[in-house]
């Protein structure tokens, strides 16, 4: 469920007419719904309430300060994968004891920043990383809390570019080497093993891969405890999918996911950490864009938008589907058209063969389910300005990231004296 609905033939974000935002802020622009962010967080949290979970929003999905602050107020922690994301989470008011640091390439400076902040745990992904963290912690005279991310070699049955739990993926420690790494931690004065971490991929549409991975983690926790390790956290990652295409069956609901986890982890007596990102923010945002031209070719019609692949990368990178709808209802018969952007790449396509009514230059179009991995992945390719972002709450809206204009980009460049 989201809060982007049509009233008298016009799409609103909560109680704000999208035409008002487009006229005041310009297009393309990301529009987020506070009510949707809050609802999705609460529904997810309630699905695990009997387990008293720590729900750490995956900051990589949407790192806007207003979005993070909204979720912090709702009680969310944060899953970060860089020093920059850590700083963003802290600046948004997320308590350090609710922050976990994931990722395969943490630098010494990032480790130092996180240790000084006092985060909950590091999710370690290799032995060299563990050695580096031990050295940094020793230099500060502190003990680093650590969970090892295990790679359970489970096929998540999702897109290859967002699968993270198979043996050929770069993430995690192989199942055969996990015990050895926990034994190595026992000898380190500045490392304390506190948990186990697993994350098998993103946009999962079936529950069975989760069951297979989590069952292996339960076995591991029991084995580690038997060996004398004080394991009291299980970080189960994120990955539950969202509905992008209204004509395709929706992924399992959080309630079903919660029931599965309660079943698999029954009696284990561990604090559960979860890292949803897309599930919270995906359908809480749209990319609002205008039609520049209708181009009628020999065998197809193109609607060229002012939004482009540099603004929303997912279709070009993942062949991702995003539902595309006009902001104002259109008259006439439906026909098939392609929605494309102006970037000089053949991959700059948002959707092909989409059913639509006839549109004209200036008409507004909403690209839905763009609240996750949208603005955070945007770039200035073709020297296009970074897109503005707007947050709506009820009948009010605010620009929460101004558009970065081309003049600002040019000013960042420095021409050497010798030119």
Residue numbers in the known binding site for substrate are: 278, 314, 318, 345, 373
Reference 27, options 387, 371, 325; nearest CA is 387
Give the annotated binding-site residues: 239, 275-278, 314, 318, 345, 373
The strand pair at 364-367 and 324-326 is best described as: antiparallel
Residues whose CB falls within 8 Å of the CB of residue 24, separated by 6 or more in sequence, listed in order: none
Residues pairing with 274 in the sheet: 55
Joined tokens for residue 176: 């055969």
Joined tokens for residue 271: 């604090």
Count the Cβ atoms, other than its own, within 10 Å of residue 105. 11
Gap between the Cα atoms of 88 and 65, Å rounded? 7
- Given 266, 344, 410, 412, the catalytic residue: 344
Contact between 62 and 28 (Cβ < 8 Å): no
Gap between the Cα atoms of 218 and 79, Å rounded? 22
CA torsion through residues 146, 167, 53, 203, sign: positive
Give the annotated binding-site residues for pyridoxal 5'-phosphate: 239, 275-278, 373
Place of tokens 């609905």: 5
Count the Cβ atoms, other than its own, within 10 Å of residue 253. 13
Q: Is 344 a catalytic residue?
A: yes
Catalytic residue numbers read 344
């Amino acid at each position: 469920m989201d809060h982007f609905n049509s009233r008298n033939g016009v799409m609103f974000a909560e109680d704000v007419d999208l035409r008002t935002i487009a006229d005041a802020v310009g297009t393309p622009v990301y529009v987020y719904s506070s009510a949707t962010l809050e609802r999705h967080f609460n529904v997810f949290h309630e699905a695990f309430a009997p387990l008293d979970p720590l729900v750490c929003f995956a900051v990589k999905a949407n790192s806007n300060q207003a979005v993070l602050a909204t979720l912090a107020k709702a009680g969310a922690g944060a899953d970060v994968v860089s020093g920059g994301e850590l700083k963003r989470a802290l600046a948004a008011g997320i308590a350090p004891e609710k922050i976990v640091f994931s990722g395969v390439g943490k630098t010494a400076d990032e480790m130092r920043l996180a240790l000084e902040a006092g985060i909950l745990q590091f999710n370690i992904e290799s032995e060299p990383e563990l050695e580096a963290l031990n050295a940094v912690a020793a230099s500060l005279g502190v003990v680093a809390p650590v969970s090892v991310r295990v790679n359970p070699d489970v096929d998540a049955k999702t897109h290859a570019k967002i699968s993270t739990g198979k043996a050929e993926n770069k993430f995690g420690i192989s199942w055969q080497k996990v015990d050895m790494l926990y034994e190595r931690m026992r000898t380190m004065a500045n490392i304390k093993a506190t948990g186990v971490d697993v994350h098998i991929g993103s946009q999962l549409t079936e529950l069975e891969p989760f069951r297979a991975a989590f069952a292996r983690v339960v076995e591991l926790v029991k084995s580690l405890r038997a060996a004398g390790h004080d394991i009291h956290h299980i970080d189960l990652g994120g990955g539950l999918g969202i509905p992008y295409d209204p004509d395709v069956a929706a992924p399992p609901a959080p309630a079903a996911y919660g029931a599965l986890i309660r079943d698999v982890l029954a009696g284990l007596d561990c604090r559960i950490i979860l890292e949803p990102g897309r599930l919270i923010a995906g359908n809480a945002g749209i990319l609002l864009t205008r039609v520049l031209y209708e181009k009628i070719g020999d065998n197809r019609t193109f609607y060229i938008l002012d939004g482009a692949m540099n603004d929303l990368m997912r279709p070009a990178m993942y062949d991702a589907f995003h539902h595309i709808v006009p902001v104002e209802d259109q008259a006439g018969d439906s026909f098939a058209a392609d929605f494309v952007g102006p970037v000089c790449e053949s991959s700059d396509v948002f959707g092909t063969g989409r059913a639509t009514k006839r549109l004209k230059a200036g008409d507004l179009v909403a690209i839905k389910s763009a609240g996750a991995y949208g603005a955070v992945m945007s770039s200035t390719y073709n020297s296009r300005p970074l897109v503005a972002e707007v947050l709506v709450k009820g009948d009010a809206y605010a620009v929460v990231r101004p558009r970065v204009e081309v003049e600002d980009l040019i000013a960042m460049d420095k021409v050497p004296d010798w030119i």
